[in-house]
Amino acid sequence: MKIAVGQMSVSPEKEINLTTIEELVSQAFEAGAKLILLPESCMYASAEPPGPLNGVAEAIDGPFVSALKRFANLYSICIVAGIFESSVDASRVYNTVVVIDEDGVLKDSYRKIHLYDAFGMKESDRVMAGDGATLVFQVGSLTFGVMTCYDLRFPELARYLAFQGAQAILLPVAWQTGPMKESHLEILTRARAIENNLYMVVAAQVGVNCCGNSMVVDPMGVIQASVANNECILVSELRQQRVEEVREYSPTLQNRRADVYARWRDSNQRWYEEVTNSD
C-alpha cells in the first residue's frame, strides 16, 4: 500500500494552511497514495510566545475539518491530520488527530495523551490531556495506530497499539529544534519500530522552530524514506507481508514475559506506580 507524508510549514492563517494542505493532498493523489499523514497542529502555528489557543481551536465538525473532508472526498484519499479541538475548559484545548476516510467521512479522532511539559516547554498550560482513549483503524489490508509527537517518548503507548493490531503507527509531530532533539526523533522512532515489529510513519512541521525530518521506518528499524526540512510530500510503500516476515524471525511481541512483568507490578515495591508518580 502506498502512503504519503505531507511535511509543511504551518502558518497562523488557517486558509493559508488549507491551501498548502490541498496542494500536498493533490500531489499524494497523483502519486497513487491511499493515505496522507499531515503534521501535528497543521491548523495553526505561530512564532510568537505561546498563548491561549481557545480562539484558534474548533469543534471536531468545524470549518477546518470540514475542508479536510472535502479534500478527502475530492481526491479519494484518507487524510490523517493534527488540529486544535475546542473543549469545555475556558483556557485549554485538545491536541487532536482526526482520521477522514476516502469518502470524506470522519472515521475517528485521538486526543494527545502525553503533554509536552519538558525541555523548557509546558504544553499543559494550553492543552488538556486526552483521557487515554486510543485510535486504531484500517485502510486497505493494513491496520494503523495513531500517536502524537511527545507520545513517542513513552513506549507503553506504542506497545499497546501493537497489541490492538497496529501494523503501522502514524506520528504527526511539530518536533522542536534544540540540542539532540533531531537525534531523539530518529532514535526513538526507530526504537518503537524495532521493539514492536511495525512501521513508524512521521509527518513533521518545518519552520516556527520545528526541525522537519519526516520519515518512514520499516519494522526492522531501517529508514526507508526521509526528508530534511523542506516542504514536500514523501511517498513510500508499506507492505503487510513485511510486517509478518519481521514478526516471524524477530518475535519481540511473542517473547514478552508477561508473567514476570505481572510479578513486578504486583510486588511490594510497586515499582511501576512509584516511578510513574515520582516528582
What does the pLDDT look like over 48-63, one tens digit per residue?
767 789 999 999 999 9
Q: Residue 261: its pLDDT value, please?
A: 87
- Domain 2-250 class, CATH top level: alpha beta
Instruction: For the chain, report the end-to-end CA distance as a whole number of angstroms.
Output: 44
In the predicted model, what is the mean pLDDT of the chain? 94
Cell of 30: 497523483
Please give the share of the chain, as a percent, with pLDDT higher than 90: 89
Nearest to 110 by CA among 144, 142, 69: 144
Closest CA to 24 of 10, 111, 12: 10
Q: Which of 112, 123, 210, 211 is catalytic?
A: 112
Is residue 146 within 8 A of residue 164, CB to CB? The reply is no
Closest CA to 197 of 136, 133, 150, 241: 241
- The domain segmentation of the chain, as residue ranges, is 2-250
CA-nearest of 135, 46, 129 to 94 is: 129
- Of 81, 200, 91, 95, whose CA–CA distance to 150 is shortest? 95
Cβ atoms of 235 and 225 within 8 Å: the answer is yes
Residues in the chain: 279
Is-contact 34 144, C-beta < 8 A?
Answer: no
For the question of residue 210 being annotated catalytic, the response is no
**Per-residue pLDDT tens for 2-13?**
999 999 999 999
Given the residues 42, 78, 149, 210, the one annotated as active site: 149
Residue 158 pLDDT > 90: yes
**Type of residue numbered 221:** G
Give the span between the Cα atoms of 220 and 216, in whole angstroms: 12
Residue 262 confidence class, pLDDT cut points 50, 70, 90 = confident
| Cα radius of gyration (the chain) | 18
pTM: 0.95
Q: What is the pLDDT of residues 178-231, one digit of tens each?
A: 999 999 999 999 999 999 999 999 999 998 789 999 999 999 999 999 999 999
| Whole-number Å distance between alpha carbons of 161 and 170 | 11
In degrees rounded to 5, what are phi and psi of residue 37?
Answer: -105, 125
Pairing relation of β-strands 78-85 and 93-100?
antiparallel
DSSP state letter for 10: P
Query: Which pLDDT score, from 0 to 100, does residue 161 have?
Result: 98
Q: Which of 14, 40, 210, 211 is catalytic?
A: 40
pLDDT reading at 168 higher than 50: yes
Residue 237: helix, strand or coil by DSSP? strand
Decide if 2 is catalytic: no
H helices within 76-180, ranges in order? 155-163
β-strand partners of 37: 5, 80
Collapse the DSSP code of 123 into the 3-class scheme (helix H, G, I; strand E, B; otherwise coil) and give the result: helix
